[in-house]
Chains A and B, each alone.
Chain A
């Protein structure tokens, strides 16, 4: 069975500082990894994904994520945080089920709070 762990319930960072939101995964076979962001009372917005190739993936709003196969991690990063980045962030992994079709498994989410 596949799983995703986001070890921090909340991350606090000052505006202008770099931010990291951590994610580790467990899956059989090749992982397909995603980051989504959710603002209050809204659906999830896609940020970026890793399928194959370069371990550093660049996404929307200046976010990037680094895939590390040996550490089974896919941490989300941004060089300079904005107050408007404050939101709930979800890491997700996609993999094939025993029936051959994929499902998306999400972590519990990490609340990012950026202070002015």
Chain B
């Protein structure tokens, strides 16, 4: 099976712009989770989608949003970018149970200037 794919791999934006990141899960996986990774804060959970519904949400401002499509592909959007949004954004997919392994994509490196 193909792994989790994320596009684009690298992005450079300026403050105030918005950005959309894409994630394609492993075939058959219906749960997609998004994480932000920064040197200072480590890995922080953004949100999780299952069957096109947001099931869980982390402690991030409303500028961060996401959605999931019927084919389980997911996008996350960040509006009004701030310098502090510079990070590696990781997507992970799994089946459904809490015992199931989450498999991660390579990430999207976002740099905000």
Q: Is B107 an interface residue (CB 8 A)?
A: yes
How many B residues face the partner with a CB closer than 8 A? 24
Q: Note all chain B residues with C-beta closer than 8 A to A89.
A: none
Chain B contact residues: helix, strand, loop or mixed:
strand
Count of chain A residues with a beta carbon within 8 Å of a chain B beta carbon = 26
Chain B residues with CB under 8 A of A103: 33, 45, 48, 56
Separation of A99 and B42 alpha carbons in the complex (Å):
25
Report A109 CB to chain B, min CB distance, Å.
6
A90 lies within 8 A of B43 (CB): yes
Is chain A's binding surface mostly helix, strand, loop or mixed? strand
Q: Which residues in A have some Cβ–Cβ distance to B below 8 Å?
A: 32, 34, 36, 41-46, 49, 51, 90, 94-97, 99, 101-109
**Could you give 15 example pairs across A and B, Cβ below 8 Å?**
A43-B6, A43-B105, A43-B106, A46-B103, A49-B99, A90-B43, A94-B98, A94-B99, A96-B98, A101-B48, A101-B55, A101-B98, A103-B33, A106-B42, A109-B43
